[in-house]
Chains A and B, each alone.
Chain A
């Protein structure tokens, strides 16, 4: 690990003032420190933001939206009873990620900013455009089973691994950020970026900007009765998604009046297709309809290596998530959140 400075500012203003090029915000460290250990990341300065005042709260704002401080731990958010009731799909996505220990440490801000799990990215001895612009991409032609099938470019075929973000994308969250230029808000759809020619630009965050909070609009809670996050993985728990889907419906009189669908682990950002959602609206929830919507959601998908199976699996998990959402959100969180084997909860 390189030598670095460490600072723990007492206020947001001090944190922003402490930023210099080459510095990194330190949340729970569960992603950043791992990458520093391999040498993939070598920040000259770590600015520990975990104790910044006021950013560890979950609040309801006057407009009915829910504001989640960037320092709220993943586990605390998922286990907040009020939050889980209003946004069960988000809680399920959180609980399907990583392990209990990691969720205790990981922050909301860090989860949004977590880097791809592309092995070539984490390995400083491999060429990686995302890590070193213009260096090339060793993942292409290598170990590609888990790589992107949507939105990838010749420059980069990596995926965004977050579960949380898939649910947030479906529910149209907003990200509050602050930098030297002041505060601004970023719609979730604009937050993560597809690689194009500049895979090193992963998010809409400008250098030196800090995530302060996330907001979920009041309407998002209207999906509470019919929303599911489902995640296919190579072991029953504690594994990143092979593919995943967040599906949320609002049903009225046997018809879908609003629909959200986002896919995970298929692209460098949570994959949301407006036309797939539009197909659902006004229709009765039926298998054939879900099949059409799911097919629309993966339209244009193409393997980036030995991963054509991910396209079919993404389509299938979308169908399953829509079906499960239509059946209704379970009363209790399943013992295996987001799993196809999700058993009844422990009492």
Chain B
């Protein structure tokens, strides 16, 4: 960026404002078009038939009965399923998972697709699916973490090692004067975005158009191109809005691939939208874990060792293992650190990345174990964490790119009123006699960047057009990214048109890992800066411009004009500069990403501290989180309103994890028996009584040029543990299994 304008001079006129969602009105009035809102001419409706056993073979499908039903057009089974160019059991790229697309009659988990029915109406297809009345040869399913012997994970998700060791673990244990050795369990959880997975697929020869909510819009072209044997450029994927993704809309799945195949088979556009119960199987989930934590401390309360082992469930045919133990890396200054993972293969759909994958379940167990250690040491839980505050990344010794965690602790504690907390449990009651407890946890989430491209056009009238295929899952990409882009162009927000959410635009990268704003934002900003750099070159070499002869470096851009920095009386408008140059639009390009050297020099994380108050009925044990205060340091905040909403949302995920979400498997059949929203609970408004977010200012010169980290997922980390710890503090009972239920507390009464 050395030959461009210093960004700092132009950064902040739009960024930093609490601009309301630009797509908000469209969404609340129903004008926003989600994938399944598309109804092309000649549309057929697809319904997939889910397996009702978890392991075995399909021996019979009554295709004749289904086809005889009025309105049923076609039934796709392994017998007549057209060939796919790419094998669904191959893993040709990083985000490819193996999936079931009617390769054969094997059933590998409940709810896997075993047939697809196409109808003129959704009702006809639904009834056709029922009439298939599958018959099976059933094998005993493997259910739960103990169903099979575990295996050691050598290479974990996304290439991370299965085991990480820093320092001498045995020596750390030997040096400990006090220790805890505790085991926590977390259940299988299913993403369940409000908008279930959907696709409307249309073929025109070898050109494929997909209306499909997707978290990785441009990358997915190559994915679908691979399975259908067409070049990536032949795929147009439109995903202007997602009704939530949570990680599960970044990966190709069987039902969607089958619907696309059905469109090619029938020569008609096909729509498929999963039913709620079908969300529990083929579209990923967070695998169940059992985590053992061993912590040792010396006399001064310093951790001599932190050992975190996680066993997690995965499928019999693919490898995603919730990498929970990694949550213990990067946070506390323990003398020795070990994180290790094991998997167990059972008859479930393959887990996948879900809402802080690994970090959420790992943090839940870690923060509770830390609380247990503090309790044993007789230390205030916050004091214990401060004693083990890491000034450099534990193990690696790398400096943090920025770390305002101390300020998070201080400001969060202050706002919450933590100082008055009694050390012992069961000390506090409210006026109604409810037990009151306070707990806390540290929040930590990596600040990654992926790769993105963007284009910024200055139009002859001086307005801007910025383009990148970003994904808005509801987090506010339409707004926050436009704010950054407008700053890059030196234009007010309303002078910038933003095109996004379609695969024919420059690659906006993946909306995941809490790195989307950082990555796509950097690309957009750089593209704007590039356009303005070109414009500046034109102006300073144009004798008709008031800027003629000024050096590049002395020019600033603001509100659609270029100024001489030291002399605001010398300025020229974008429109005038372009008009004199012949009235052509001017195009800048930019990219976002992080060089490996930069990534290697610093440890990069967002940090936070979450404080929870719970009330528990002393006899009936109903639990309510009455207050949550989260203080987060996450680099530069582009839009405080949106960022706070993200952090609120993350903390609500935390309530959900701590108290509600759990898929309950029938141990005999391996089927999930609460696969709807009446049974699979997430918090309702009444469960979210008091939420407060503080964002702690943080300048980070290393994460990227704009200093952006991420706020998407960090809110869930810290929160689950804080709630578990608060429940202990209220009741004196440690529940080492999530979600914490009424009957768990009753059992200890």
Which A residues form the contact surface with B (CB < 8 A)? 1-3, 37-39, 117, 119-120, 123-125, 138, 141-143, 145, 232-240, 242, 309, 312-313, 316-317, 319-320, 336, 339-341
10 further A-B pairs in the complex, CB-CB below 8 A; given A1-B123, A319-B619? A3-B70, A37-B126, A232-B622, A233-B622, A234-B659, A234-B660, A234-B742, A239-B681, A312-B746, A341-B624
Closest-by-CB residue of A relative to B659 is A235
A142 lies within 8 A of B666 (CB): yes
In whole angstroms, what is the CA distance A138 to B624 when docked?
A: 33
A142 lies within 8 A of B673 (CB): yes
Contact of B619 among A142, A143, A236, A320 (CB under 8 A): A320
A143 lies within 8 A of B746 (CB): no
Given contacts A119-B673, A119-B674, contact A309 B743 (CB under 8 A): yes
Closest 8 A/B residue pairs (Cβ) = A236-B686, A237-B686, A309-B743, A125-B52, A143-B673, A119-B673, A142-B666, A238-B684
Report chain B residues within 8 Å CB of A124: 130
A237 lies within 8 A of B685 (CB): yes
Is B620 an interface residue when CB atoms closer than 8 A count as contact?
yes
A232 lies within 8 A of B742 (CB): yes
Given contacts A120-B673, A237-B684, contact A340 B678 (CB under 8 A): no
B664 lies within 8 A of A236 (CB): no
A313 lies within 8 A of B686 (CB): no
Given contacts A39-B130, A119-B674, contact A145 B743 (CB under 8 A): yes
Is B551 an interface residue when CB atoms closer than 8 A count as contact?
no
A-B contact pairs, 18 of them (CB 8 A): A3-B127, A38-B277, A39-B130, A119-B674, A119-B679, A120-B673, A125-B52, A138-B666, A143-B673, A235-B660, A235-B681, A235-B683, A236-B686, A237-B687, A309-B746, A312-B746, A319-B619, A340-B617
A340 lies within 8 A of B684 (CB): no
In whole angstroms, what is the CA distance A232 to B620 when docked?
A: 8
In whole angstroms, what is the CA distance A340 to B616 when docked?
A: 10
Closest-by-CB residue of A relative to B626 is A341
Task: Name the distance in Å between A245's Cβ and chain B's nearest Cβ.
Answer: 11
Report chain B residues within 8 Å CB of A234: 659-660, 681, 741-742
Contact of A1 among B127, B674, B683 (CB under 8 A): B127
In whole angstroms, what is the CA distance A312 to B743 when docked?
A: 10
SS class, residues of chain A in contact with chain B: loop
Contacting A at CB under 8 A, from B654-707, are: 659-660, 664-669, 673-674, 678-679, 681, 683-687
A117 lies within 8 A of B678 (CB): yes
Contact of A317 among B126, B620, B679 (CB under 8 A): B620
Task: Name the distance in Å between B618's Cβ and chain A's nearest Cβ.
Answer: 10
A242 lies within 8 A of B742 (CB): yes
Chain B contributes a number of interface residues (CB within 8 A of A) equal to 37
B620 lies within 8 A of A313 (CB): yes
In whole angstroms, what is the CA distance A237 to B678 when docked?
A: 11
Contact of B127 among A2, A143, A237, A238 (CB under 8 A): A2
In whole angstroms, what is the CA distance A238 to B688 when docked?
A: 13
Query: Which of B624, B659, B678, B747 has the largest number of chain A CB atoms within 10 A?
Result: B678
Report chain B residues within 8 Å CB of A117: 678-679
Contacting A at CB under 8 A, from B229-247, are: none
In whole angstroms, what is the CA distance A287 to B143 when docked?
A: 45
Contact of B746 among A37, A125, A141, A313 (CB under 8 A): A313
Query: Which of A145, A232, A340 has the largest number of chain B CB atoms within 10 A?
Result: A340
1/0 contact string of B716-749 vs chain A (CB within 8 Å): 0000000000000000000000000111001100
Is B615 an interface residue when CB atoms closer than 8 A count as contact?
yes
A316 lies within 8 A of B127 (CB): no
Closest-by-CB residue of A relative to B619 is A316
In whole angstroms, what is the CA distance A143 to B683 when docked?
A: 22
Which B residues form the contact surface with A (CB < 8 A)? 52, 70, 123, 126-127, 130, 277, 434, 615, 617, 619-620, 622, 624, 659-660, 664-669, 673-674, 678-679, 681, 683-687, 741-743, 746-747
Report chain A residues within 8 Å CB of B686: 235-238, 336
Closest-by-CB residue of A relative to B747 is A309
A141 lies within 8 A of B615 (CB): no
Report chain A residues within 8 Å CB of B130: 2, 39, 124
Task: Name the distance in Å between A231's Cβ and chain B's nearest Cβ.
Answer: 10
Task: Name the distance in Å between B91's Cβ and chain A's nearest Cβ.
Answer: 32
Report chain A residues within 8 Å CB of B277: 38
B742 lies within 8 A of A236 (CB): no
Report chain B residues within 8 Å CB of A138: 666
In whole angstroms, what is the CA distance A316 to B617 when docked?
A: 11
Given contacts A119-B673, A120-B673, A236-B687, contact A143 B666 (CB under 8 A): yes
Task: Name the distance in Å between A160's Cβ and chain B's nearest Cβ.
Answer: 15
In whole angstroms, what is the CA distance A316 to B745 when docked?
A: 14
B687 lies within 8 A of A235 (CB): yes
Given contacts A120-B673, A145-B743, contact A235 B684 (CB under 8 A): yes
Closest-by-CB residue of A relative to B744 is A309
Report chain A residues within 8 Å CB of B742: 232, 234, 242, 309, 313
Report chain A residues within 8 Å CB of B747: 309
Given contacts A232-B622, A312-B746, contact A341 B123 (CB under 8 A): no
Report chain B residues within 8 Å CB of A341: 434, 615, 617, 622, 624
Task: Name the distance in Å between A328's Cβ and chain B's nearest Cβ.
Answer: 15
Given contacts A3-B127, A239-B681, contact A340 B620 (CB under 8 A): yes
Task: Name the distance in Å between B405's Cβ and chain A's nearest Cβ.
Answer: 32
Task: Name the distance in Å between A240's Cβ and chain B's nearest Cβ.
Answer: 7
In whole angstroms, what is the CA distance A339 to B622 when docked?
A: 9
A340 lies within 8 A of B622 (CB): yes
B664 lies within 8 A of A1 (CB): no
Closest-by-CB residue of B relative to A122 is B676
Task: Name the distance in Å between A119's Cβ and chain B's nearest Cβ.
Answer: 4
Query: Which of A309, A319, A336 has the largest number of chain B CB atoms within 10 A?
Result: A309
Report chain B residues within 8 Å CB of A119: 673-674, 679
B684 lies within 8 A of A320 (CB): no
Report chain B residues within 8 Å CB of A141: 668
In whole angstroms, what is the CA distance A198 to B620 when docked?
A: 34
In whole angstroms, what is the CA distance A129 to B615 when docked?
A: 41
In whole angstroms, what is the CA distance A242 to B742 when docked?
A: 9
B620 lies within 8 A of A320 (CB): yes
Closest-by-CB residue of A relative to B617 is A340
Task: Name the distance in Å between B540's Cβ and chain A's nearest Cβ.
Answer: 63
In whole angstroms, what is the CA distance A236 to B620 when docked?
A: 13
Query: Which of B70, B622, B683 has the largest number of chain A CB atoms within 10 A?
Result: B622
Task: Name the distance in Å between A125's Cβ and chain B's nearest Cβ.
Answer: 4
Query: Which of B664, B666, B674 has the largest number of chain A CB atoms within 10 A?
Result: B666
A236 lies within 8 A of B684 (CB): yes
In whole angstroms, what is the CA distance A1 to B124 when docked?
A: 8
In whole angstroms, what is the CA distance A234 to B674 when docked?
A: 14
In whole angstroms, what is the CA distance A339 to B126 when docked?
A: 39
Task: Name the distance in Å between A46's Cβ and chain B's nearest Cβ.
Answer: 14
Closest-by-CB residue of B relative to A307 is B743
Report chain B residues within 8 Å CB of A3: 70, 127
Report chain B residues within 8 Å CB of A236: 622, 624, 684, 686-687
In whole angstroms, what is the CA distance A313 to B741 when docked?
A: 13
Report chain A residues within 8 Å CB of B665: 143
Report chain B residues within 8 Å CB of A237: 684-687
Task: Name the distance in Å between B434's Cβ and chain A's nearest Cβ.
Answer: 8
Report chain B residues within 8 Å CB of A340: 617, 620, 622
Report chain A residues within 8 Å CB of B664: 143, 145
In whole angstroms, what is the CA distance A123 to B676 when docked?
A: 12
Report chain A residues within 8 Å CB of B615: 341
Closest-by-CB residue of B relative to A143 is B673
Report chain B residues within 8 Å CB of A39: 130
Report chain A residues within 8 Å CB of B126: 1, 37
